[in-house]
């Protein structure tokens, strides 16, 4: 008996396999019923790997957002520190002028523009 394969045979086999997959009989036709537990276990492992990867990616996104927030807060902190230092420096200059006997003080009124 001559067993030559034709393209039509491959198409028929694919069509029958697709129907078996839809009916849920594909694994039974391949006679792998005894390995069903292993197949379910492998599927479970793949599902867990995908789920853990998604959880890790979500955590990494949260870490990146928090790093950006920290950078912004560091900038704000630096600005506030600069403002506090400049205010304390102004007071230092004022006290030094008073110690030297200078009559220069901070203006009490806004400046007047002369024309």
The verdict on residue 13 lying in a domain is no
The verdict on residue 78 lying in a domain is yes
pTM above 0.85, yes or no: no
The verdict on residue 79 lying in a domain is yes
94 token code pair: 């004022």
Q: What are 57-84's pLDDT values in tens digits?
A: 999 999 999 999 999 999 999 999 988 8
The verdict on residue 15 lying in a domain is no
Q: What are 90-107's pLDDT values in tens digits?
A: 777 778 788 888 888 777
What is the domain count for the chain? Answer: 1
The verdict on residue 5 lying in a domain is no
The verdict on residue 11 lying in a domain is no
Owner of token pair 């697709």: 18
The verdict on residue 58 lying in a domain is yes
pLDDT (0 to 100) of residue 20: 86
The verdict on residue 12 lying in a domain is no
Instruction: Report the sign of the C-alpha dihedral through residues 81, 84, 86, 92, in that order.
Output: negative
The boundaries of the domain holding residue 43 are 34-98
């Amino acid at each position: 008996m001559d067993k030559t394969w034709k393209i039509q045979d491959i198409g028929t086999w694919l069509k029958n396999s697709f129907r078996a997959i839809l009916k849920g009989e594909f694994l039974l036709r391949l006679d792998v019923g005894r390995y069903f537990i292993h197949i379910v276990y492998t599927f479970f492992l793949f599902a867990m790997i995908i789920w853990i990867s998604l959880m890790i990616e979500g955590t990494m996104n949260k870490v990146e957002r928090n790093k950006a927030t920290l950078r912004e807060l560091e900038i704000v902190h630096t600005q506030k520190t600069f403002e506090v230092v400049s205010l304390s420096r102004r007071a230092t200059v004022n006290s030094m002028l008073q110690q030297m006997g200078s009559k220069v003080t901070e203006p009490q009124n806004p400046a007047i523009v002369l024309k």
